[in-house]
Structure 1
Amino acid sequence: MSPPDTHRRGARAVPRSVWALGLVSMFMDISSEMIHALLPLYMVAVLGTSVLAVGVIEGIAEATASVVKVFSGSLSDRIGKRKLLAVIGYGLGALTKPVFPLAGGLEWLVGARFIDRVGKGIRGAPRDALVADVTPAELRGTAYGLRQTLDTIGAFTGPLLAIALMGWTANNYRLVFWWAVLPAFVAVAVLVFGVHEPSRPAAARPARLPLHRAELAQLGAGFWWVVAIGLVFTLARFSEAFLILRAQSAGLAPMWAPAVLVVMGLAYALSAYPAGALSDRLRRLDVLLVGLALLIAADLVLAFMPGLAGLGLGVALWGLHMGFTQGLFNALIADSAPAALRGTAFGLYHLLTGLALLLASLIAGALWDAAGYQATFACGAVFAALTMAGLLVLRRSGRAGL
């Protein structure tokens, strides 16, 4: 692979493998979101599960992915083969998609969701580390923002297709789930043929044992500061399944409930690349502060502004906050971790924030069942404000050079 032109800026300077990884994410997200945009409603309205159960299932699924990420990331450091692990992870995700339309009960859906998230866990850290491996340091924010934008195009295209297919099939959930199988296998094909992994430099020493204490100590204070910020932030950013349930509480019919993910995804896609490119020119923490302000606004609007107008505005603000934060956290991890331990660093970050997401989803579901959606989103605003306070302290101290 020819080296990227570091004299150029913007999307044209981003390596082709990053573009391909973005397309892989886009097609897999189209598949996943066609299913996940309908799954909470299917579980609550058709199978009769509680909102708390939805929170438990979503939290366990995402936490499972995060636990697997720490091992796959470490393994990718050890063997120096990040693409291989990404292919295994995306392939496993594709193979689980037919289970959703075939499932005969809740236990099958839970099992399919669990295995799908195992695949996500296997691919996540190696893929994120691979983006850093092929991208020069001065373009990392741009590269992660671009990959996130393509990923998010899939995230709102999937719900759009779900809406169209729900109308065409007269709310036939299973048939929509069958259509979702196709883009998953396209994603695997693009990964296999379109992504080229750079060879490990001859002088590079494979991580001896990435999860050993001596290796973890090499990650440094800057990395652990990023993790600490990410943990508190994740407590404020519970599963998007609650946005779909918020749409239902606003009176949207099941066919139109996935529209909230379309609005969120559009705002996310439009903001992720500009935010990433901006973070290559400004301090990344300053851009994160903007994202946290957007999250606080989103939570407050979703909690206290009634009607469809409040729902639409709140969901759009939620998408903007995602664009201003998700790619930046990846860039911060890549900036703060040694190159030989990038897989381990991403794996640890995803593990710890995944456990925080499990806790956040449990809290969100319990509050919703006990006191309604206002309590859920108000609690999210509190955690976001705590994260912003921590970021301001870190910014003033100048610690970790972030």
Structure 2
Amino acid sequence: MNRNIVVLGLVSFFTDFATAMINPILPIFVVVILNQSMDKLGIIVAVATFVSYAVRLLSGYIADRFGIVKPLVVAGYVISAISKPLIGFSDNYKSVAFLKAFERLGKAIRSAPKDYMISSFTKKKKYGKSFGFHKTLDIGGELGGTLTLFFILLYFSPTEQVIRNIFFLTIIPGIIGVILVAFFVEDVPKVNKIKKVSFKLIEKDKETVKLLIFYFLFVFFIFNDAFFTVQAKEVGISISIIPLLFVVLTAVQTATSYIFGLAIDKYGAKKILLFAYISGIISELLLLQEQPIYTWFAFAFLGLFTVSSLNANRAFIAKNAKNQGSVYGIFYSGVAVFGAIGAYIVGLIWNKFGMELSIIFSLIGTSFITLLFSIYILRNKNYG
């Protein structure tokens, strides 16, 4: 494994450590402490999701066209490290939405160039292995951050001041990540930086994007983890225990990420994507039962969906796309648009018609997309 990929994995470990300290409690912070409605939470999720992914189209193009890679990655991590602690000062949903969007802007700036770096440093075209390894450290950081959050809430109890202090503490792992990426990661090889790449996609790029459309549509319908969190509270799981649900989510991803990476290299990305979509459907079926025990398993299957689908899509792009930075940008931008609109609609349905109908809406949509995807891969067996 290339040293730069290992260090990038450590950077993601510490950055996601900080993110995981706040993600499980952010919906509770908004709905319970700030006393905002579910549609307001939907707006926050939509804005953050859109910003998180939309800018990746531009950053991916810049990485391809001008060879500017590491500066974008470093800038993205700096923005994320600074913005997380500031959420602790928020007193309404608008300020949360702005700061969460700013934090996601950092992720948007760095993500496509970072994937480009991983692809560039990968030897012998073992893209599944490289992305699987990186995702393992990435999710390992989430696991560590979630466990830290759980023990803080267990020891201090989830008061408003304690929750605000948790936001402030994220500055520590965030700064560690910035130091690692700024001083211990090389830029991409010079040969990749000087090549002239047009934004105009060639036929291979277009064929790659066709497969991504199914993922965009699936993301439109599937529940965001913020809605998973509120569902857990609705079925009676206490706020102090909710971080353990995210421990399940991240532990499943940590344990399986590298395995999925190897499976992608061996069996192909499309088969792993089909498994991912089925896992997503199962997670929503479990939520529909509206009982705590099923919610625990729902988080586990959400973890399987998340890690297998991301690894498969990223490896598929690395293997099949010519203009990789641009196609990574399209991938993340598509997730932005569809994920943001989907989160807003789910929030509206929940607020007006209740939790059960919003789950049914998501379940019907994801099932239909999975059926279409199955038909597509049967008709296109030879590509990818």
Gap change, CA 1:137 and 1:243, over 3 Å in 2: farther
State the shift of 1:298 in Å: 1.1
Deviations 1:109-142 (A, max 9, x none): 2221121111111001101111111113631011
State the shift of 1:203 in Å: 10
1:276 is the counterpart of 2:266: no
C-alpha distance in 2 between matches for 1:232 and 1:365: 17
Gap change, CA 1:356 and 1:281, over 3 Å in 2: same
C-alpha distance in 1 between matches for 2:58 and 2:86: 26
1:235 is the counterpart of 2:217: no
Aligned position for 2:152: 165
Aligned position for 1:256: 241
1:151 is the counterpart of 2:138: yes
Gap change, CA 1:117 and 1:400, over 3 Å in 2: farther
Aligned position for 1:131: 118
C-alpha distance in 2 between matches for 1:286 and 1:106: 40
Whether the 8 Å contact between 2:86 and 2:168 is mirrored in structure 1 is: no
Q: Which structure 2 residues correspond to residues 336-351 of structure 1 after superposition, within 5 A?
A: 336-338=320-322, 341-351=323-333
* 1:174 alignment partner, one of 161, 164, 174: 164
Aligned position for 1:332: 316
Whether the 8 Å contact between 1:101 and 1:175 is mirrored in structure 2 is: yes
* 1:116 alignment partner, one of 103, 121, 127: 103
Which ranges of structure 1 fall in alignment gaps of 5 or more residues?
1-13
TM-score by length of 2: 0.94
C-alpha distance in 2 between matches for 1:70 and 1:220: 14
1:389 is the counterpart of 2:364: no
Aligned position for 1:3: none
Whether the 8 Å contact between 1:66 and 1:352 is mirrored in structure 2 is: yes
C-alpha distance in 1 between matches for 2:193 and 2:180: 31
Aligned position for 1:266: 251
Name the count of aligned residue pairs: 381
State the shift of 1:308 in Å: 1.8
C-alpha distance in 2 between matches for 1:146 and 1:379: 35
Work out the percentage of aligned pairs sharing the same amino acid.
23
Q: What root-mean-square deviation, in Å, do the aligned CA atoms of Structure 1 and Structure 2 show?
A: 1.9
Aligned position for 1:221: 206
Whether the 8 Å contact between 1:166 and 1:176 is mirrored in structure 2 is: no
Q: Which structure 2 residues correspond to residues 357-396 of structure 1 after superposition, within 5 A?
A: 357-396=339-378
Which ranges of structure 2 fall in alignment gaps of 5 or more residues?
none
Whether the 8 Å contact between 1:34 and 1:158 is mirrored in structure 2 is: yes
* 2:178 alignment partner, one of 161, 177, 188: 188
* 1:24 alignment partner, one of 7, 11, 30: 11
Deviations 1:47-94 (A, max 9, x none): 111111111111111101212111111111122131110000001111
* 2:307 alignment partner, one of 313, 319, 323: 323
State the shift of 1:265 in Å: 0.9
C-alpha distance in 2 between matches for 1:218 and 1:19: 33
